[in-house]
Structure 1
């Protein structure tokens, strides 16, 4: 018994060493984020976006995007899906999203909103970018909103043939600005 342990031990140590060597060192190697698929189109999220498990009803996917600089909170990206014909039209949602923001004194919400039409894969989409005071509500019908100054939201309505998907990236302005380039690239990569 001892002889077989003595003979087997070097092999065990060698195997453990190989396993350690084959793992990339922390910070090395390519990390991959979650794969998001929308009606046959897919794109891989950036590795630093943390997927939030246990999404609630109508939340198709949810991610936490790490805070930047002196921001006090992470940004969140939620993809909502209400089914075919659900969730309302593009104009109604753009108006609702604009209503979630208060512009600086002397400006209107239209002054702080940038809207554009684009294609994600072969699907029509509407992209809205807002910066100002975010009127946070813990749930849609909450009677009061908590004003959160210096926030930014990027909303995208992905007009899928099986019903629209609504992307809402919102958080402190510096954090959303930091993640915007990766978010835009992620959208372009849906194929």
Structure 2
């Protein structure tokens, strides 16, 4: 399951860890910057994919647009060598066999960005739970 963690920066609204059977873990982070904040869907998808070492066309990246109870949600998945580190500069550490599962929920009070990164098997296993969480949050 998802374990609540203290957000590691003030930009993060919520943060969770998902432990795998092998003791490794993935991180799930929620961001919300208010109306008009955080940039558009395409800019965020591009930025997320650029956090991998490989070019975007080598990441098995997939973007799926859905509507959940009248709200647009964009899901993004990718796998490759994630460059872990601070978002704006600083030293990055290559982490092979990583996965990305992202969701951008285009809400009336601004978009909510959910991003899971970590070992690809753990990240892939979180997709069903993430979609269920989003569906529950967007119930009318």
TM-score range (shorter-chain normalised) is 0.7 to 0.9
Deviation of residue 54 (structure 1)? 5.2
Aligned residues: 137
String of CA shifts for 1:103-124, please: whole Å, max 9, x gaps. Answer: 3xxxx52341100101233211
What's the RMSD between the two structures over aligned residues? 1.8
| TM-score with structure 2 setting the length | 0.87
Bigger Rg over Cα: 1
Q: Does 1:143 align with 2:94?
A: no
1:181 to 117, 128, 131: 128
Higher strand proportion (structure 1 or 2): 2
Q: Name stretches of at least 5 consecutive residues in structure 2 with no aligned partner.
A: none
TM-aligned CA deviation for residue 132 of structure 1: 0.7
Q: Unpaired segments of 5 or more residues in structure 1?
A: 1-47
Which residue of structure 2 lines up, in the alignment, with residue 50 of structure 1?
Answer: 3
Q: Which has the higher helix share?
A: 1
Give runs of ≥4 in structure 1 deviating > 6 Å. Answer: none
In 1: Cα distance, 2:136 partner to 2:7 partner: 25
How far is the alpha carbon of 1:83 from its aligned partner? 1.3
SS in 1 for 2:38: coil
TM-score (norm 1): 0.66
Whether the 8 Å CA contact 1:101–1:130 is kept in 2: the answer is: no
